[in-house]
Amino acid sequence: MNITFGGYTLEIGSDKRAKVDAKSDFEKASDNGYAFTWSIESYDTTAADTILAVRNDHSTMELHITAIEIRQDSAEVEVEIHSPIATYTSAGTAVVGACLNRTVNRTAEATAHANETGNTQGTVVKRVSIKAEPIVIDMTGLTLGYDQAVGVDFATGGDWCYMCITGYFKFK
C-alpha cells in the first residue's frame, strides 16, 4: 500500500510500517555516483579574479552546491561567491570533477575552469571575509539549473589559495 500526499509517496510494508529512507539527498547522490568535487591545488590570486567556476551542463538534473572549501595564505581576503550572468564561454584551466563514489565510473556533466576568464560576475550569493586558515563555506540551498554556474572570486587580491567546490546532481 502507498500513501501519496503533496507529490510524495510513502510506501507501507506488509507489516503496516512505513518504509523510510534516512539518507540525505547528498548521500543518495553519492551512492548513485552523482556527487562530485572540483578542486584546484595551487593558484596565485589577483583581485576580481574568478578562481574557480563550475557550470551545470546537465539538461535534466539540477546541480546542488553543498560547500566551498578554501585555504589561502593572505592575512585576510574578501571572497565573493556569485552566479555569472547569462550564458558564457568558459575559459581558463580545465578542472575535471571527481566522482565521490569511487566504485562508479561517472563523469560530471559540468564545465569547470580555474582562472576562469569567460564569465561576467552576476549576483553575489554570498560574501565572506576569510583569514589564512582553512574554511568550509556552507552553500546548502544553492541550486544550479541547466547552463547556470557558480564562480568564486577574491574581491581583494591574495597570494595563493586551494579551493574545492562540492555538489551533487539531482533530477528536477
- pTM attached to this predicted model: 0.86
pLDDT in tens, 60-103: 999 999 999 999 888 888 999 999 887 788 889 999 999 999 99
Q: Is residue 108 part of a domain?
A: yes
- Kindly list the distances between the CA atom of residue 27 and the CA atoms of 35, 56, 63, 93, in Å, as whole numbers in the listed order: 8, 20, 14, 29
In the predicted model, is pLDDT for residue 141 greater than 90? Answer: yes
Q: Is residue 31 part of a domain?
A: yes
Quote the number of domains for the chain. Answer: 1
Q: Is residue 17 part of a domain?
A: no
Percent of the chain with pLDDT over 90: 60
Q: Is residue 13 part of a domain?
A: no
Q: Is residue 152 part of a domain?
A: yes
Q: Which domain holds residue 102?
A: 26-171
Q: Is residue 63 part of a domain?
A: yes
Q: Is residue 92 part of a domain?
A: yes
Residues 154/115/83/141 CA torsion (nearest 10 deg): -80
